[in-house]
Chain A
Amino acid sequence: MYPFEGLFSLLVLSLVLETQALTPTHHLTTTDVARLQAVLSQPFTDLKSAYYSVVGLSKLGIFVADADETCRFINSNLDPSSVESLFYAAEASQALSGCEIPVSNDTRDLLLATVSEDSTASQIHQSVSALSALGLPLASQEVVSALKARISKEDNVLAIILALQTASRLSQQAELGEILEEIEDLAARLDDLGGVYLQFEEGLEATALFVSAAYSLSDHVDMEPPLKEDQVIQLVNSIFSKKSWDSLSEAFSVASAAASLSNNRFHVPVIVSAQGPAAVSHSHPFLQLQVTDVLCQPLSSASVLVESASAVASKSAILNQAPFTLRDGVFELNFMASQPASGYYQFSVAITGDSRFVANHVELKVKVSTRVAINNMDLSVVDKDQSIGPKTTRVEYPTKAKASFMADSHQNFAMTFQLVDETTGVELTPHQTFVRLHNQKTGQEVVFVAEPDSKNLYKFELDTAERKTEFDSISGTYALYLMVGDATLENPILWNVADVVLKFLDEEAPGTIQAKTLYVPKPEIQHLFREPEKKPPTVVSNAFTALVLSPFLLLLILWFKLGANISNFTLSPSTILFHIGHAAMLGLMYVYWTHLNMFQTLKYLAIIGSLTFLAGNRMLAQKAVKRIAAEQSSRLAKYRSLR
Chain B
Amino acid sequence: MSNSVISVISRFLEEYASSTPNKLKVIDAYLLYIMMTGALQFLYCLLVGTFPFNSFLSGFISCVGSFILAVCLRIQINPQNKGEFLSISPERAFADFLFAHTVLHLVVINFIG
Contacts and interface: CB of A to CB of B under 8 A. Distances in A.
Contacts of A601: 106
A551 B110 contact: no
A582 interface: yes
Contact of A533 (B29, B36, B51, B89): B51
Contacts of A554: 32-33, 36
B40 A544 contact: yes
Given A552-B37, A558-B33, A586-B105, 6 more contacts: A551-B37, A582-B98, A592-B106, A601-B106, A616-B98, A627-B90
Contact of B36 (A541, A551, A582): A551
B67 interface: no
A568 B33 CA distance: 24
Contacts of B51: 533-536
A547 B48 CA distance: 14
A448 interface: no
A605 interface: yes
Interface string B68-109: 000000000000000000000111101100110010011001
A552 B33 contact: yes
Given A540-B48, A616-B98, A620-B95, A558 B29 contact: yes
Which of the listed residues B22, B25, B102 has the most CB atoms from chain A within 10 Å of its own CB? B102
Contacts of A558: 29, 32-33
Nearest to B36: A551
A627 B93 CA distance: 14
A585 B101 CA distance: 11
A260 B48 CA distance: 96
Contacts of B112: 593
7 contacts: A541-B48, A554-B33, A554-B36, A559-B26, A562-B25, A582-B98, A613-B99
A412 B49 CA distance: 68
Given A589-B109, A605-B106, A617 B95 contact: yes
A555 B26 CA distance: 9
A623 interface: yes
Interface in A562-616: 562-564, 582, 585-586, 589, 592-593, 598, 601, 605, 609, 613, 616
A548 B33 CA distance: 10
B109 A592 contact: yes
A547 B51 CA distance: 18
A624 interface: yes
A551 B33 contact: yes
Interface in A495-549: 533-536, 540-541, 544, 547-548
Nearest to A548: B40
Contact of A616 (B30, B32, B95, B106): B95
B22 A563 contact: yes
Contact of A548 (B30, B37, B91): B37
A534 B41 CA distance: 19
Contact of A620 (B32, B33, B91): B91
B55 to A, nearest CB: 11
A12 interface: no
Contacts of B90: 624, 627
A359 B11 CA distance: 116
B33 A605 contact: no
B16 interface: no
Contact of B105 (A540, A562, A589): A589
Contacts of B99: 613
Contact of A536 (B29, B49, B89): B49
B2 to A, nearest CB: 28
Contacts of B36: 551, 554
Contacts of B49: 536
A586 B102 CA distance: 8
Contacts of B92: 620
A559 B32 CA distance: 11
A613 B92 CA distance: 12
A621 interface: yes
A559 B29 contact: yes
A607 to B, nearest CB: 13
A551 B32 CA distance: 9
Given A548-B40, A620-B95, A605 B102 contact: yes
Contacts of B40: 544, 547-548, 550-551
Contacts of A536: 48-49, 51
Contact of A562 (B26, B89, B110): B26
Contact of B110 (A534, A547, A598): A598
Interface string B18-38: 000010011001101100110
Interface string B33-75: 1001100110010001101000000000000000000000000
A555 B98 contact: no
A326 B33 CA distance: 114
